[in-house]
């Protein structure tokens, strides 16, 4: 049991991931304040779990009596900045489960805040960030970092889909010579040797393009998603039209369609796995690679985010951090079911 008198707040508790985290928190003996914009969804959940409910929008954030906020209401590109500012004003630590490059960059480049700021405390980007840190420790002179993942048996939630739609017009992204560079979708395609077999993968604008640089200092970074050759062809075909999808009315239509999604059911969360691969290379061309397997992404996020909350409450540090910088490269192993390969 954890000290229920420590007041931390879970914002977005009525969302798919937020509700999963609220239920696991209660199971662990936490009693967070459950918060969001929709009282009709927040209050019944709070009553069921024996928690306080608090309803507010992001233009009227109320954090009185709160020591820490776990922010789970995306798209974070729209929601994180007001919550970060409110946390700093209220002297409350801030954690979220974002995977968005622009959000990481805005938070990790902040200076002088007296509270802990930890974006990306879920699947985005804990496993890949810890893998990057492990690889950098093995090759301190690395100049290139490649990361990749392959998802087996899961699907996207409504919130994740909406987050992807918000950034759809920006295309892909890599880090080149220390700078984030926008590139076309599926800019690079390669075969990757995951622990479950060799798969074709394409570059995607994943959060590690930001975070892995802050964690390791490696100047050239690409992140890949394993997918079918047909899906890669399709991505290349639609790439020129992505800016059209960024036009606000079209984006809002896509968001309404996304609202029909729910997320993986319990069986998929329990059975799904994610294979990860990472490789560092130095200037002389020597490479080291490692693999990792984790539980399904949402199942991982629930445990990882709560473990991060508990660690920050126990020993906060002022400033903005990536997960591996704040919690150590072995933090990923705090989630049961994680396996590190060669």
**CATH code for position 177:** 3.30.360
Task: Output the pLDDT for position 259.
Answer: 60
74 and 146 share one domain: no
215 and 303 share one domain: no
322 and 174 share one domain: no
197 and 73 share one domain: no
Decide: 36 and 22 in contact? Cβ < 8 Å. Answer: no
140 and 62 share one domain: no
Count structural domains, the chain.
2
Q: In this model, does residue 251 exceed pLDDT 60?
A: no
Is 3 a domain residue?
no
Alpha helix stretches (DSSP H) within the chain: 16-27, 39-49, 76-90, 101-108, 126-138, 158-166, 208-216, 229-238, 242-245, 248-258, 266-271, 297-314, 323-327
276 and 316 share one domain: no
Is 337 a domain residue?
no
pTM value is: 0.90
Confidence of residue 35 (pLDDT cuts 50, 70, 90): very high
253 and 139 share one domain: yes
93 and 82 share one domain: yes
Task: Output the pLDDT for position 201.
Answer: 92
Confidence of residue 164 (pLDDT cuts 50, 70, 90): very low
Is 312 a domain residue?
yes
Decide: 141 and 118 in contact? Cβ < 8 Å. Answer: no
Is 1 a domain residue?
no
Task: Output the pLDDT for position 161.
Answer: 46
> What is the average pLDDT score of the chain?
89
Residue range(s) defining the domain that contains residue 84: 8-122+298-328
159 and 256 share one domain: yes
Is 336 a domain residue?
no
312: CATH:
3.40.50.720
Task: Output the pLDDT for position 247.
Answer: 58
Place of tokens 């080291």: 288
């Amino acid at each position: 049991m954890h000290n229920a008198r420590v007041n931390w707040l879970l914002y977005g508790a009525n969302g798919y991931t937020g509700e999963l985290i609220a239920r696991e928190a209660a199971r662990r003996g936490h009693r967070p304040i459950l918060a969001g914009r929709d009282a009709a969804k927040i209050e019944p959940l709070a009553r069921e779990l024996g928690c306080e409910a608090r309803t507010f929008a992001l233009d009227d954030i109320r954090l009185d009596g709160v020591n820490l906020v776990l922010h789970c209401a995306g798209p974070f590109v729209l929601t994180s900045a007001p919550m970060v500012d409110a946390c700093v004003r209220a002297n409350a630590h801030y954690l979220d489960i974002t995977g968005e490059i622009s959000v990481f960059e805005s938070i990790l480049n902040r200076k002088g805040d007296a509270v802990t700021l930890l974006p990306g405390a879920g699947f985005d980007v804990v496993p890949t960030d810890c893998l990057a840190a492990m690889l950098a420790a093995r090759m301190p002179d690395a100049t290139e970092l490649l990361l990749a993942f392959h998802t087996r048996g899961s699907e996207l939630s409504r919130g994740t889909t909406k987050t992807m739609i918000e950034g759809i017009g920006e295309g892909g992204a890599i880090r080149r010579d220390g700078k984030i560079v926008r590139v076309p979708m599926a800019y690079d395609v390669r075969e990757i040797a995951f622990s479950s077999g060799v798969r074709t993968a394409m570059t995607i604008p994943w959060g590690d393009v930001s975070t892995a640089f802050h964690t390791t200092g490696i100047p050239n970074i690409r992140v890949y998603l394993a997918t079918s050759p047909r899906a890669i062809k399709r991505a290349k075909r639609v790439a020129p039209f992505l800016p059209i999808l960024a036009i606000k009315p079209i984006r809002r239509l896509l968001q309404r369609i996304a609202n029909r999604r729910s997320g993986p059911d319990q069986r998929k969360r329990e059975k799904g796995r994610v294979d990860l691969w990472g490789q560092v290379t130095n200037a002389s061309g020597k490479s080291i690679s490692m693999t990792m397997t984790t539980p399904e992404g949402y199942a991982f996020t629930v445990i990882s985010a709560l473990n991060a909350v508990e660690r920050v409450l126990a020993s906060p540090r002022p400033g903005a951090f990536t997960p591996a910088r704040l919690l150590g490269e072995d933090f990923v192993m705090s989630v049961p079911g994680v396996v590190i390969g060669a």
